[in-house]
Structure 1
Amino acid sequence: MDKPSWIRPWEADIPPKLRVFLWQVFHRILPTAEALREKKVDVLPRCPVCWEASETLEHMFLECLVARALWDHSGLAHLGEGLPRHTFPLFLKKLLAVVHNPALVMSVVAVLWRIWRSRNWVVFEGKQFGIPALMRQFHQQIQEWLSLPRDQTDRLGRPPAPTVVVDGAGTTICMWDGAVRLGSHAAGGMVILNSDRALILAKGVHFLFLDDPMMVEALVLWEAMGWCLANGFTVMRFEGDTQVVIEKILWRDVRDNQIRAILEEIVNLFASNRGFTVRFVGRRNNRVAHLVARQALSLFPTTCRLFDFQAWLYSRM
């Protein structure tokens, strides 16, 4: 996608989870009803919020009553006047291309995030909500983001990096693995070890309504690379047991239509971060990441976010 570098997900001046969200929007991989039905998941096609139309990206972010109300009440609706609305990623690309004020960029992303969160409240928690409450949360979200630590250039600062001892005898390693429950959801595990093979971090991630094993493996690697960059790791060796994905990355082969977008992002991250390398290891040598991925798969998404994977893994090493 030909877009200015400053709106690329990992370069946008927004919190990391919003960078992932924005990337998913651009590449149409949010699990809307339309996307799930294309993957043969048996869900109702109608918008769960208004029931007026099929739930597409275009309807959810531009046409649904919640979307229209949030755009109007936020005072941002005029920014999108005259822009093409038949494809939402194109609409968003052109909108962000003309919005140069960082505060406005943050507000646009906050509107999208509120729309997505309110939709998920209805789908997963059965909650009802009103526009005034959503607007209060919108303004609170903006204030929360503005209060995050920033560097001298007024951009979001990186959180302090964990204490890592890396000497000439070894390299900091990030192992990763994915696990899939077909027709339901998927999860991934990432484990970071220092040069002495001591555990620094164990982290599980969860993906709802995603059951393509190669996509899951690639997304877990992308998440792991993003976490390492956000936490100041500049020299890393990423190890995984998915030979097909790793060979595509090493050969820069991004022709696979199913995972082309995420492969392009990963290849670009490796190209722009010379301290990052990747290699294939067998399942036996990747056992700890596999354990974390399987444990994450067994947990409900909310529990997955709260679970102490590091303490759990310590008890099994």
Structure 2
Amino acid sequence: MDKPSWIRVWEAKIPPKLKVFVWQILNRALPITEALIEKKVQVLPRCPVFLDGPETMEHMFLYCPVARALWDYSGLEYLGEGLPRHTFPLFLKRLLGLIDQPSVVMAVVAIFWRIWRSRNWVVFECKQFGIPALMRQFNQQYEEWVGLPADQAPRPQIPIMQSPTQVGDSHLVCMWDGATKGVSHSAGGMVLFDPARTLLLARGVQFSQMDDLVVVELLVLREAIIWCVEQGLSEVHFEGDAKVIIDKINQADTRDSKLDAVLEEIAHYFRTQPGFSVRFVGRENNRVAHLVARKTLSLYPTMSRFFDFQTWLVSRV
């Protein structure tokens, strides 16, 4: 690692053990299964967290659902675009070389540390964890490093109107909505909450040459489902105000000439994900997703995923 890049880590206000941790990453010295196999140790050659691939550093820090969720949550996933990903130490070296702000260096290190800690919980303590809890731990870790009060939550709860979620329900809630602007383009908004209705994530999607709001909202629901599946979430209530679509899905009615293919795809997700459900809420109870959809529409054709929807939402509601 060249001196300027290493100095960014060495001067960061993080515990010394975290600086050693980064050094271990850069020198491929972490005792993951890939390294153990090279040393002829008999271990299962797969990710111990989700069992969905070999445990390489590239998989663990970039492609594992835990890593993808934290990168998405942090809003920093764009930093690594265009960088080589075939070897993680090189990726990290190049990434650190692009970062000028100490707070961003701390956030990146916090992502890696939370991933590593969660992996060790599974391997050595046989503990399971939820991705929302991991996001809160990342939040707390980062806030401690940058010196903010421990009780100052960087993801404050967004007050929303009454919803059908029952007390004691452990499901997350993903609100979704669509918006159109003439025949030129359209957009959608997705907002993920924990069971207490605390904001976790928000995201926008854009479509071109699409002016049928029913089709747009169906596509947004599909994107919301895929988004949750990619994060490894298994218990989610999807809430929207598109009653026609929701009734068709809940009645298993996929007979619609212009919607049948997408409806069937969505129906497949609900058949294979028993913890997923979709339900109708009125527009007044779906206003947060509507705000994100309208904002995403206004950003067209800018890449909306670079926009910090969480901070923007807190300032609006």
Higher relative contact order (CA 8 A, sep 6+): 2
